[in-house]
Amino acid sequence: MTDHLMLSPAVAAAKAAGNPLVALESTIVTHGMPYPANLRTALAVEAAVRDSGAEPATIAVIDGRVRIGLETDELAALAEARDVMKLSRADLAFAVASGRTGSTTVAATMIAARAAGLSVFATGGIGGVHRGGETSLDVSADLEELARTDVIVVSAGAKAILDIGRTLEYLETKGVPVVVYGSDELPAFWSRQSGHAAPLRLDAPAEIARFHKARAALGIAGGMLVANPLDAANAIPRETVEGWIEQALGEAAAKSVAGKAVTPFLLGRIVELSEGRSLEANIALIKANARLAGEIAVALAQD
């Protein structure tokens, strides 16, 4: 893989100096938010990582090369592009082998981050078991990746469009620690409440770094999910969100939306149904996650 990996000058310099780094995904840019809010957010997220003392490394595949760290013009091109692949474990190498351009999901970003030696990654919300997943078998490859790849994924939990209970069961079965930052309740992306208790709770970046090191010392492979609740001022009550989700899910079923298109369709419709309120919350939560991820990376680099 190393031949196909290309570090940006800033990322290469940070790595060489042993400075903390945070990986960022790009599917949120190409499939998760409308233009130009997606570009504005991607740049603000990189700034949030820098503010916390770490170097951001936004990951994508451009013309068949796995890029670790993008220049602003490259990010801008991705944000406006329409025919970009949404890459996961199944097709990351396909894009490389065929010289394609694609954005990386949580799963693919974890693989690329690990290959580049990065152990902290910030996203919005992970994919998981979709509602009705017990019959459709629509379960995001993000969950399996968390089970096997040693990266700390900082999120606002699983996206609320999913079946959060079954997503938690899957993660528990696979031995993935779910650590809620500073709360006893697992957040649900746009909302602070999910109705599910925090499987584990930690209150400081240094505690998360210590947990990560203890797992490594015990030889326990696999990732860790950190769920960071959105602050109350930006969060949306669960009951409010649930109405939009129900409507978007009904429309997805009526249109037979399936496979990779499901999550982008639901997120896009919820932005419309909420008249942009969900987008503002999504932007706020990814910035907060980037900041926390930076703090964890800084803590990992100490001692």
Which stretches of the chain bind ligand PSU, using CB under 6 A? 25, 27-28, 31-32, 105-106, 123-125, 127, 140-142, 260, 263, 267, 282, 286
Shortest Cβ 73–ligand PSU spacing (Å): 22
Q: Can you tell me the distance from the alpha carbon of 122 to that of 125, in angstroms, rounded to the nearest whole number?
A: 9
* Cα–Cα distances in angstroms (integers) from residue 53 to residues 19, 138, 166, 207, 301, in the given order: 9, 38, 36, 18, 11
Six-digit token pair at 151? 């990266």
Shortest Cβ 136–ligand PSU spacing (Å): 12
How many C-beta atoms lie closer than 10 Å to residue 264's C-beta? 16
Q: Which is nearer to Mn ion, 58 or 105 (CB)?
A: 105
Which of ligand PSU, Mn ion, none binds 113 (CB below 5-8 Å, type-dependent)?
none
Q: Which is nearer to ligand PSU, 180 or 279 (CB)?
A: 279
Which of Mn ion, ligand PSU, none binds 32 (CB below 5-8 Å, type-dependent)?
ligand PSU
CA-based torsion, 180, 184, 186, 190: positive or negative: negative
Q: Can you tell me the distance from the alpha carbon of 77 to that of 70, in angstroms, rounded to the nearest whole number?
A: 11
H or E segment to which residue 7 belongs: strand 5-7
Length of the chain: 303
Residue among 187, 191, 190, 109 nearest 151 (CA): 109
Which of ligand PSU, Mn ion, none binds 168 (CB below 5-8 Å, type-dependent)?
none
Q: Which is nearer to ligand PSU, 180 or 286 (CB)?
A: 286
* Spatial contact of 168 and 189, defined as CB atoms under 8 Å apart: no
44-66: b (≥16 Cβ within 10 Å) or e: ebbebbeebebbbbbbbbbeebb
Shortest Cβ 250–ligand PSU spacing (Å): 18
Which of ligand PSU, Mn ion, none binds 31 (CB below 5-8 Å, type-dependent)?
ligand PSU
- Helix, strand, or coil (residue 262): helix
Which of ligand PSU, Mn ion, none binds 28 (CB below 5-8 Å, type-dependent)?
ligand PSU
**25 catalytic, yes or no?**
yes
Options 15, 25, 55, 86, the catalytic residue: 25
Q: Which is nearer to Mn ion, 44 or 141 (CB)?
A: 141
Shortest Cβ 103–ligand PSU spacing (Å): 8
Single-letter amino acid, residue 37? A
Residues that bind Mn ion (CB under 5 A): 138
Options 15, 86, 145, 159, the catalytic residue: 159
Shortest Cβ 143–ligand PSU spacing (Å): 9
Q: Which is nearer to ligand PSU, 149 or 263 (CB)?
A: 263
Q: Which residues are marked as active site?
A: 25, 159
